[in-house]
Amino acid sequence: MVTYENGSEPADYLRCFESDTFGCYPCAPADVREAFMESIKVFENNLPDLWRKGFRIWIVPQSTKVTDMPGCSGAGSECNDDRYRGLYLWNRRENRKLALIKEKDLKQRRNALKHEIGHAIWHLLLTNSDRGYLKKVYKREKRENPDRNRDYRMSNPGEFFADSLAYYHTFHTEPKVIEVREYVVEPFIFGTNAVHIREVMKEGSLEPTKKTLESLNPEMLSYLEEKERKGWKWR
C-alpha cells in the first residue's frame, strides 16, 4: 500500500505509481520497468492529480488474460484479444480507475500506455468545457476528413483525444520509428457492393506522425501545445 504525503513533489508520485504497479507484478523484467517509467515520466505533472483521484496502472503479464486479472473478470473476453493493447476501466462500485496495459504492448509500442493514460486524463482531469470543446473539434474532423473516419482514433471523442495525446508525447520522447495502426478498405464483391475492412500495421516515423496529427487536426495540436505551455494543468 502506497500512501501520499502532503507536500510531495511530482517526482514522488512517479515512485508511488512505480511501487504500486510493480507491487502487483514484482517479477517484471527490467525492460518492462524501463518502458513503464519512460511512458509515465512524460505525464509527471499530471501524476499527483491522477493518483489522488484513485487512478492506478496494472500490467497484464504475458501469460495472463485480462479477464484473469483481480476484479477484471467483467472486462469482456474480447479484451483478451491481441487487438486490444490495453484498456481503461472504471469500476464504479469500488470507485477504482484502472489502466490495464499488456506487457508485450508496453514493451513493443511505446505509445500504448500513454494512450490509456490519455483516457484517464479525459475522464479525471478534463473539465466539462474542455470535453465539450474537444467534442466539437472531433465532429469537425469527422466532417472534414471522412476518409479517415475508419481509423481507430476516430471511433469517438475519447479515442481521438487519447490517441492524439499519446502521439503528441511520443513525438517528444522517442526519436524512433513507431507503428501506426491504419485500416485498409478492400473492395469485396459479394452479391452486392460490400467492403471488407482489414486492419494492418503500418510503419511510420515520428516526424510524419506529428505532421499527420497537425494536418489532420491543427486545433487538437494547438490545444495540446497550449496545455503543455501551462504545465499540463487541466483546470
Alpha-carbon span 68 to 114, nearest angstrom:
23
Report 48-77 residues binding Zn ion (CB under 5 A).
Answer: none
Beta strands in the chain (DSSP E): 55-60, 86-91, 96-102, 177-190, 192-205
Rg (alpha carbons) of the chain, rounded to whole number: 18
Report 178-217 residues binding Zn ion (CB under 5 A).
Answer: none
Q: What's the closest the beta carbon of residue 92 comes to Zn ion, in angstroms?
A: 19
Pairing of strands 96-102, 55-60: parallel
**Which residue's CB is nearer to Zn ion, number 91 or number 156?**
156
Q: What's the closest the beta carbon of residue 166 comes to Zn ion, in angstroms?
A: 9
Check: CB of residue 60 under 8 Å from CB of residue 36: no
**Which residue's CB is nearer to Zn ion, number 22 or number 84?**
84
Q: What's the closest the beta carbon of residue 193 comes to Zn ion, in angstroms?
A: 31
**Which residue's CB is nearer to Zn ion, number 106 or number 162?**
162
Q: What's the closest the beta carbon of residue 50 comes to Zn ion, in angstroms?
A: 16
End-to-end CA distance of the chain: 29
Angle between helices 10-24 and 30-41 (to 10 degrees): 150
Q: What's the closest the beta carbon of residue 115 comes to Zn ion, in angstroms?
A: 6
Site string for Zn ion, 136-165 (x = CB under 5 A): -----------------------x--x---
**Which residue's CB is nearer to Zn ion, number 14 or number 89?**
89
Q: What's the closest the beta carbon of residue 42 comes to Zn ion, in angstroms?
A: 17
Total residues contacting Zn ion by CB under 5 A comes to 2
**Which residue's CB is nearer to Zn ion, number 35 or number 162?**
162
**Which residue's CB is nearer to Zn ion, number 103 or number 159?**
159
SS3 content of the chain, % helix, strand, coil (to 5): 55, 20, 25
Alpha-carbon span 111 to 162, nearest angstrom:
10
User: Residues interacting with Zn ion, by CB under 5 A?
Assistant: 159, 162
